[in-house]
């Protein structure tokens, strides 16, 4: 007998003979969402034909990008060797698009003399996100890393002088410089750089199996790369560093190279 339950919390349950084996998924089936799950020891999982990493405790995660296709396919091989398959259908999202004309060219594209610096910044970020530790800190219920009004949302985009710019991939929390930033979940600090060109003070925290949080525009870091941290621990202070117009925290999340919406993991504000 095979049962499937879908909704904000997704459960896939399979009955194998007299023994029940369950693959459980948690998360919103929508673009930008992180899906977290658990499986019996010895399981194998594929999403759209690609292997999903599973921790020693059976926890795993995968995510969908801002403009991901809506139809996906999950396959699970249980510990008895029996395979099960199911289609996953995402709900589409609409994003805020702003069009601004008449800006000076230097406001639209960075000057050539800083391109090498931007490239070096991007390499450091990619290296910090390359960890695939078999930890499952991501399985926790995440908390907001800072308090304040939401001043920017995931997926929004500006078109400057007719040129579409990169979408905003985080959630912005407006607060004065020096406001404490707390770890949204357990993890390992993999990067802190105080002065990146675009993002200013930048910190990355790895939550295991390719899931990470990134904090941008910080005025100060309170922890260093390599430190183990616990949920709720002070890790940084909000600032107005990098290319910003005011003090705020830009909180971003990734699964591997997939950019996720952090707001889908915390209580609505």
Q: pLDDT tens digit string along 53-94?
A: 999 999 999 999 999 999 999 999 999 999 999 999 999 999
Range(s) within the chain of domains with CATH label 2.60.40: 2-89
CA distance 8 to 23: 16
CB 88 within 8 A of CB 69: no
What confidence tier does 102 reach under pLDDT thresholds 50, 70, 90? Answer: low
Q: How far is CA 118 from CA 111, 126, 137, 196, in A?
A: 11, 12, 30, 8
Tell which residue, 150, 140, 115, has the closest CA to residue 213: 140
Range(s) within the chain of domains with CATH label 2.70.70.10: 113-148+169-264
CB 252 within 8 A of CB 212: no
Look at residue 111 and tell me whether its pLDDT is greater than 70: yes
Tell me the pTM. 0.88
**Topology adopted by domain 2-89:** Immunoglobulin-like (2.60.40)
Higher pLDDT among residues 125 and 110, named by residue: 125
CA distance 233 to 145: 9
Which superfamily does 113-148+169-264 belong to? Glucose Permease (Domain IIA) (2.70.70.10)
């Amino acid at each position: 007998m095979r049962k499937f339950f879908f909704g904000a919390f997704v459960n896939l349950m399979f009955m194998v003979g007299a023994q029940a084996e369950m693959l459980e998924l948690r998360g919103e089936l929508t673009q930008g969402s992180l899906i977290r799950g658990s499986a019996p020891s010895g399981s194998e999982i594929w999403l759209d034909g690609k292997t999903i990493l599973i921790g020693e405790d059976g926890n795993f995660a995968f995510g969908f990008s801002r403009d991901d296709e809506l139809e996906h396919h999950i396959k699970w091989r249980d510990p008895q060797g029996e395979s099960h398959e199911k289609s996953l259908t995402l709900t589409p999202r609409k994003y805020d698009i702003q069009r601004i004309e008449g800006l000076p060219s230097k406001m639209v594209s960075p000057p050539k003399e800083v391109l090498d610096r931007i490239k070096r910044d991007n390499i450091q970020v990619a290296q910090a996100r390359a960890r695939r530790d078999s930890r499952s800190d991501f399985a926790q219920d995440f908390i907001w890393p800072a308090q304040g009004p939401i001043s920017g949302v995931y997926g929004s985009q500006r078109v400057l002088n007719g040129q579409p710019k990169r979408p905003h991939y985080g959630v912005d929390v407006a607060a004065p410089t020096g406001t404490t930033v707390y770890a949204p979940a357990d993890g390992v600090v993999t990067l802190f750089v105080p002065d990146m060109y675009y993002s200013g003070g930048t910190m990355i925290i790895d939550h295991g199996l390719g899931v990470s949080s990134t904090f941008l525009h910080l005025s100060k870091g309170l922890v260093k790369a390599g430190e183990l941290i616990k949920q709720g621990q002070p890790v940084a202070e909000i600032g107005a560093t990098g290319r910003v117009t005011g003090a705020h925290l830009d909180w971003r999340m990734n699964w591997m190279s997939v950019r996720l919406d952090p707001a889908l993991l915390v209580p609505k504000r």
